[in-house]
Structure 1
Amino acid sequence: MVAQDSVLAAADHDFTKLSLTPSVIFFISIPEDISESFYDGQVFVSYKDTVFEPSSAIRHSTEFLNALNVHPYSS
């Protein structure tokens, strides 16, 4: 509600001070037989603050390389 002689103004209702974006990498072993399941593997999850760490191709490549170096299942 706004008084009759007032200026109608509103703030953005989607404004947030913190926004986290997950990056998920699923390491799988490709089965020898097509009847075997692909849903057997390890998941590597990392989070980043989208304000200070915006997404880019270089960032995604770096995160994937880091996951390969850190994750024990990747070798």
Structure 2
Amino acid sequence: MEPPDDERIVLGRKDDRTMVGFQWTGAEPQDLGDTETAVALGAVWEGDELVTYNIEHLRHNLQHNFDGFLEDSD
């Protein structure tokens, strides 16, 4: 079951205990590999958490990122 489009999904958290300083939660799309791409695709930082309020839009943008067509995430 997919979450509602307006549900807050935590994709990852800053974590100084890890080598890279960040830990994904497992809620991120499978092919999302870095935080900069996540932000470019519409995710936002809220404190130490990287979140999205529309996971389907994020997945959609990620797919288009691979095929070279990227919509404005706003």
The answer to whether TM tops 0.5 is no
Larger gyration radius, structure 1 or structure 2: 1
Q: Which structure exhibits the higher relative contact order, with contacts defined as CA atoms closer than 8 Å and separated by 6 or more residues? A: 2
Give TM-score, length-normalised by structure 2: 0.30
